[in-house]
Amino acid sequence: MSIIIPSEYKNKLSLVDTEKAIKLAKDTFEKKLSEHLNLTRVSAPLFVLPESGLNDNLNGYERPVSFDIKESGKNAEIVHSLAKWKRNALAKYLFKDGEGLYTDMNAIRRDEETDNLHSLYVDQWDWEKIITKKDRNIDFLKTIVRKINTVLIETKEIINQKFNALNLSLNNEVFFITAEELLKMYPEFSAKERENIICKEKKNVFIIGIGEELSNGIKHDGRAPDYDDWQLNGDFLLWYEPLNCAIEISSMGIRVDKHSMLYQLEKANATSRLNYEYHQKIVNDELPLTIGGGIGQSRICMIMLEKIHIGEVQVSIWSEDDLTLIRKNKINIL
């Protein structure tokens, strides 16, 4: 089976209370994220034209969902994320240094292998903030990560106060480690195994440096070469006791400047992307320097509501084998 149902798991909230808690969790987290990072909510696209170069290529092999437009005869793609679009939007809306935006991003990832944490449907808060050249460093990245951790803690406290059946708490501290340091600590384990080991010990962990090959010739995880700077990015993970595993809640980082993008496109054999307008704007220093990321809404709700399957907090499609197991264990899938 592709999913895990802990034997001791019981639904702590009814379906109606679950829906109420989802709304409270999303409203609270969104409001506090905006306050702590100085972000303004904006509208965002569900689909883009491929030739714009604005879609997120993720690891490079995921197939976007596309459709033809009757009026123009062109094809459009459902976004994978808004990593590139947001940077353009910051320039278009004339945001200033220290200001940023966030938006609700909805996507369909048709090639996803579904399990407790993964769905064909992706909903996340995509956010982006303008920074200065002196902010392009690890210390600044850590400062932003700690602010997001504060948002998590404050949201969980409010959820627990409203729903007495919920009692888990989150760790106040974030442990920072580079992907290379983590590899040297546990060279005999896979990247996912290393994540679980370090998160079980440290609880809240931010792994720095995703996308570049490590000393063993393997990337910790894939990352597109044209939005995150591979030296100044990372994944934010929490140890989640109900599932006895690490959950990645955010992929984020300081974005590429001209020099890091050219280097990373070369490493990824993707220099053909320089033909896109977006990439030319970076080369010509026409877009602001930024930091940004995506924060999974459904995963946040799972943690806040102490659920063990993402289908308990969002509506999607699951295999018949998974549904049989879910029904057998009386799990309330939405």
> Any idea which residues carry the catalytic annotation?
56, 109, 124, 235, 248, 251
Q: Which residues sit opposite 245 in a β-bridge?
A: 240
CA-to-CA distance for 12 and 237, rounded, in angstroms? 24
The sign one gets for the Cα dihedral 149, 174, 300, 38 is positive
E strand intervals along the chain: 39-41, 47-48, 66-68, 75-78, 100-108, 121-130, 175-178, 204-208, 228-240, 245-255, 290-296
Percentage helix, strand, coil, to 5, in the chain? 40, 20, 40
Q: What is the dihedral of CA 204, 79, 23, 307, to 10 degrees?
A: -50
Tell me the two tokens of residue 168: 């888990």
Neighbours of 139 (CB within 10 A): 7
Six-digit token string for 47: 């689909």
Output the six-digit token pair for 294.
């995506």
Cα(319)–Cα(63) distance, integer angstroms: 20
Place of tokens 């699951």: 318
Q: How far apart are CA 266 and CA 264, in angstroms?
A: 5
Burial of 246 (0-12, 13-18, 19+ CB in 10 A): buried
Name the amino acid, one letter, at 101: L
Element (H, E) at 156: helix 138-162
